[in-house]
Structure 1
Amino acid sequence: MLNVLITNDDGPLNDDYSPYIRPFVSNLLKFHPDWNITIAIPDVQKSWNSKAHLAGKDLTLTYIYTDLSKHDNSSFWGPFPSSIKGKLTQFNVPGNCIEWCLIDGTPASCVNIALHHLKPTTGSGKFDLVISGPNVGRNTSAAYITSSATVGAAMEAVITSDVKAIALSWAYFQGQKYVKNEGGILDIASRQSLDIISHLNHNWDTVTTDLYTINIPLLPSLSMDTKVFMAPIWENRWGSMYDAPVKSNLTIKAASSDIEDGSEAKETALVYHWNPNFQYHSNSRHGSKQRHDMDVVEAGDIAVTPLRAVFQMSSNVLTQGELIIDHPHTQEEKYNVVLSIDPKEYIFQPLRQAMSKILNNVSIFSRLDDPSLPKDGKLFHYGDYELLDMDRLSTDSTHYFANSYIYRKALIRKHYLSHTIHNYIVKHPESILNKAYLESYTIDLDYAEFLDDSLDENWELRQELEQSEESGKWWIVKPSMSDKGQGIRVFQTIEDLQAIFDSFDDEIDDEAPQDSLIDDNKIIISQLRHFIIQKYLTNPLLLPSMSNKKFHIRCYITCMGDINVYVYDRMLALFASVPFIPLDKGDDNNNGVEFNPTDLNILQSHLSNTCLQTHNKDKDLSVMEFDQLVDIADDDKLQIKKQIYDIAHDIFIAAKSVNSLNFQPLPNAMETFGVDFLVDDKFNVKLLEINAYPDFKQTGNDLKELIDELFLNVTKHCIKPLLDGGENISKEKNGSFKNVLSYTSNDW
């Protein structure tokens, strides 16, 4: 955070006297939000008094607040309490107003009071830089600079507090004193000024230079390509600033003791009318042909002059030549991306199109070892986890960026997720996770025959299962590290669970039809070992228009850096292939067939994962956009989404705060997770699981546009800000990409 004091000699916003401070401050706020600014300026125009103070005069400070988004110069008188941001609305003043400190003194006095009595509350508590200007007119040549209150205020900063200072002037031509912002010329002048100031601030020669003067020509040719030159002051001389005297009769009050007090005398006086001839200059000091500040500005270029605060030029101006300025906000950024995904993959084209659209000047490579890939600069790599350079991702946070964190087991492993949530709600029982995550237990198992031993080690689970029939609870078992619905079973008793694990150890049925659910859902216990036992939601929300099929919501949640979390508001509803069959052993709801935990035909009504529906002829109907569901009222949809936002907020805080070893968001990475939720018949949302590298093709062809928009958002709000150094972090509230969490590690 750079603490910056802004002053001038033209006073507050005024179309006739001070027309340039509005565009300058507006552009500063836009391009340098990391600058903390204080504005202290004369209450009226105070030009031509150099570095003078009004000796013996007490000065008064008043406040006004102005909305820079308007152009009528309307202001509100203050002061207002403490920080004005977000607190002015209670005074019927817009909350985005800028505070102006108006002092009835000279520019030098404004700087003196501000540096000693208006200290900033951020950073070191001291000002780092004083900007005096932009001044109406030029301050080139010795004849102007020695009388300039703009330069005088900058000198005061050096003399009173040894603070770096810059005097900024915008030169006009052909008598057009106040230039209008036609063609955006004042915006260009502002951006050029800010870029030059930023360059000087980062490359300051404190040994030879106290302050700089900058003169920018307000010519139609001014652009971001206008050259900038270091130039010495033209040590010119000029003649009379006044016309020849004329006689005038004045009435003068008595001033001597021999005249009665209060009496008056008529006297003849000579009056010299102010009429400087700025066209006349001489250079009597030397006849050098050296290019000076006046020459540079007259040629339509920008002049920068380093000074000592003793009206003496810095010695380093002897090294002359063009000063190369970086314009980070105007030059077209060059982006390099490695997209190491098979072009036949479902997401390849959406990703490539999004990057080409959002990253205007982008080169896309297919391999990280491509010899034509630039060796220097920033690189974003989007690819499968195994293809990312993890060593580089963990050590080079300024140049290498990727689409995955290294450690995120706290979220994507089901048993880790269960532990993460349990540990968090113990400390935060008020969290939405306390009611949004179903009762869960974890067990470790190598072979089916060891189930009894595993339950002995988890006696709470054993007690629950022994009482399940009496309590009416049903359970679902999930392998912690499987995906695409593999190994998921529904059961009620310990005997059911034993039968399920015994079936996993059986050989795959060679007679089962190809692509059957049996083959797709088979697992090997010894390869997975970790399982989660979770209470089964027996009252899911069912929709008549969808034949009362069970469904879950697939929501894409993207994390960027450490850590911003975005919820993609266009969610999917994934339906089971057959209508829901309530769980009740031997009930007529099962058509008189007793429930069998290993019968995968019954399981079809309880699993809504589209990966298991290869045999479903109506697969295109198994995925719909959530907002298009006609059986859910709009208010209920909003209630569901609000719960998802809150769950997303808390689950990522939980992972970072209680399981930081297994979730480490990196400043140079982002990742999109597929997060699954269930909704019960009371519209309560339950978190099911979080998937890394989700299967986007579950969306299907009819909803591919939804994925296209997702990657546009990801590129715009995550990838581009990462490459731009964290700038333009989105806080979008009403769009389809909602920022639900924006914290850093220090906040925990």
Structure 2
Amino acid sequence: MMRKFHLVEDKSPTHANLIRFLKAEGWKPSKFSALASVNEEWLEFSPVISETLEYKHLLASFLQENDLGYLMPETFFIDDQIWPLVLADIGSSQSANLPWILKPSMLNNGQHIHIFHDLNDVETHFISHHRMGGPQVLQRYIDKPQLIQGPTFGHKFSIRELLVVSTHVGSALFPSGYLNIALKPYQEDNFNLLEAHLTNEHLSDERLNVVQRLSDDMAIFQPYKQGIISMCQLVVKSLKKQFATVWQDSQPRIACFGFDFMVEAEGNKLWLLEVNHGPCFPIDDSHPLFNVLYRPFWKQLIKRFIDREPSNFIALD
């Protein structure tokens, strides 16, 4: 059988990579969607899933509704109208004097993020006029994260794992991920130096904010591997339960997600922080992780989800 695909290359980094690696496997492009065994419909996964995972307030409420709230640091939806109620609610709990991080619910690039020492600082922020409006989440800030020892100081890190959901062959986790390690040493009390606290790839401009390392190469990652698999299994199971109709679909569809985790030093506790849909996959071989992570990721994805052959992905359902 002639293996043909019909995909629009410049639609997304996922499209570009899929086209490149399908061609490398001997697939041929087709001008007609109907004649292609892999077409745009394959990448049109229900938006309810990507929004539930990617929008931070929806992820928090999804986890809470499915008794999985414990996977994520305490998180509250907050906006211009309800902030006094939210702060009053937290103020009457034991969390009042803890540090908090405020993140826009629908942005992912580290912009408009603020860290506060306590609720009073949060209140001062919401009273001021120089701030961003719209839906946000207020989350307990992990101010004592597990650190990676640098030349002189400890550096904060987060763990990014690649997960693929599908309507036709289940969901699976790629066995390799990477660590985003902040270039600036961690400063526990200086919340103004965001570069030391946020492990986003870029913050304000094109300058890199982190160094990325394959998780398999980092001894510090190994104790958390099984916990990450278990947490991903719980999330997938709840998604399939809550949005059952999405999976009752005869059309094969896939969606790629980046799941971000962090480890709290006390008790070495693993937390799920956030999820990105269609994470910004590099399309250039010069990316330091391209050959060690992304090339095998795409080759194995095609094996498992398109050719339906054994792969080294870890099944989650």
- Name the TM tier (shorter chain): 0.7 to 0.9
- As a proportion of its length, which structure holds more helix? 2
Q: 1:375 deviation in Å? A: 4.0
Question: What is the CA–CA distance in structure 2 between the aligned matches of 1:555 and 1:353, rounded to whole Å?
Answer: 22
- Within-5 A mapping of 1:459-470: 459-464=88-93, 468-469=96-97
Matching of residue 672 in structure 1 with residue 263 in structure 2: no
8 Å CA contact 1:336–1:363 kept in 2: the answer is: yes
% identical aligned pairs? 20
Bigger CA radius of gyration: 1
Residue 695 of structure 1 corresponds to 280
The Cα offsets for residues 477-518 of structure 1, whole Å up to 9 and x where unpaired, read as: 111111112222111333312343466x53xxxxxxxxxxxx
Over 3 Å counting, the alpha-carbon distance change for 1:417 and 1:711 in structure 2 is: same
Matching of residue 483 in structure 1 with residue 142 in structure 2: no
Matching of residue 530 in structure 1 with residue 135 in structure 2: yes
Question: What is the CA–CA distance in structure 1 between the aligned matches of 2:210 and 2:88, rounded to whole Å?
Answer: 43
- Specify every segment of 5 or more residues in structure 1 that has no aligned partner in the other structure, as ranges: 1-332, 366-371, 382-399, 426-432, 507-522, 584-589, 722-727, 742-748
Over 3 Å counting, the alpha-carbon distance change for 1:689 and 1:350 in structure 2 is: same
Question: What is the CA–CA distance in structure 2 between the aligned matches of 1:420 and 1:560, rounded to whole Å?
Answer: 19
- Count of residues paired in the alignment: 310
Residue 364 of structure 1 corresponds to 29
Over 3 Å counting, the alpha-carbon distance change for 1:401 and 1:627 in structure 2 is: closer
Over 3 Å counting, the alpha-carbon distance change for 1:336 and 1:542 in structure 2 is: same
Matching of residue 610 in structure 1 with residue 201 in structure 2: yes
Residue 122 of structure 2 corresponds to 497
From 401, 405, 417, the equivalent of 2:59 is 417
Over 3 Å counting, the alpha-carbon distance change for 1:639 and 1:437 in structure 2 is: same
Over 3 Å counting, the alpha-carbon distance change for 1:552 and 1:374 in structure 2 is: closer
The Cα offsets for residues 581-609 of structure 1, whole Å up to 9 and x where unpaired, read as: 113xxxxxx5xxxx6xxx3xx22211010
Task: Give the counterpart letter for 1:482 in structure 2.
Answer: L
Task: Give the counterpart letter for 1:657 in structure 2.
Answer: K
Task: Give the counterpart letter for 1:339 in structure 2.
Answer: L
Normalised TM-score (structure 1): 0.38
Residue 60 of structure 1 corresponds to none
From 721, 726, 738, the equivalent of 2:314 is 738
From 571, 578, 587, the equivalent of 2:184 is 578
From 127, 150, 154, the equivalent of 1:545 is 150
Residue 290 of structure 2 corresponds to 704
Q: Which has the higher contact order (CA 8 A, sep 6+)?
A: 2
The Cα offsets for residues 102-121 of structure 1, whole Å up to 9 and x where unpaired, read as: xxxxxxxxxxxxxxxxxxxx
Residue 73 of structure 2 corresponds to 438
Residue 334 of structure 1 corresponds to 2
Residue 640 of structure 1 corresponds to 224
Over 3 Å counting, the alpha-carbon distance change for 1:712 and 1:581 in structure 2 is: same
Over 3 Å counting, the alpha-carbon distance change for 1:377 and 1:710 in structure 2 is: closer
Question: What is the CA–CA distance in structure 1 between the aligned matches of 2:46 and 2:213, rounded to whole Å?
Answer: 30
Over 3 Å counting, the alpha-carbon distance change for 1:606 and 1:627 in structure 2 is: same
Over 3 Å counting, the alpha-carbon distance change for 1:377 and 1:572 in structure 2 is: closer
Normalised TM-score (structure 2): 0.85
Task: Give the counterpart letter for 1:697 in structure 2.
Answer: P
Question: What is the CA–CA distance in structure 2 between the aligned matches of 1:698 and 1:639, rounded to whole Å?
Answer: 31
Matching of residue 627 in structure 1 with residue 209 in structure 2: no
- Within-5 A mapping of 1:1-400: 333-342=1-10, 350-358=17-25, 360=26, 362-364=27-29, 372-373=31-32, 375-376=34-35, 378-381=37-40, 400=41
Over 3 Å counting, the alpha-carbon distance change for 1:463 and 1:487 in structure 2 is: farther
Give SS of 1:554's match. strand
Give SS of 1:622's match. strand
Over 3 Å counting, the alpha-carbon distance change for 1:337 and 1:434 in structure 2 is: same
Over 3 Å counting, the alpha-carbon distance change for 1:357 and 1:459 in structure 2 is: same
- Specify every segment of 5 or more residues in structure 2 that has no aligned partner in the other structure, as ranges: none
Question: What is the CA–CA distance in structure 2 between the aligned matches of 1:615 and 1:545, rounded to whole Å?
Answer: 23
Question: What is the CA–CA distance in structure 1 between the aligned matches of 2:100 and 2:163, rounded to whole Å?
Answer: 27
8 Å CA contact 1:577–1:613 kept in 2: the answer is: no
From 558, 567, 573, the equivalent of 2:164 is 558
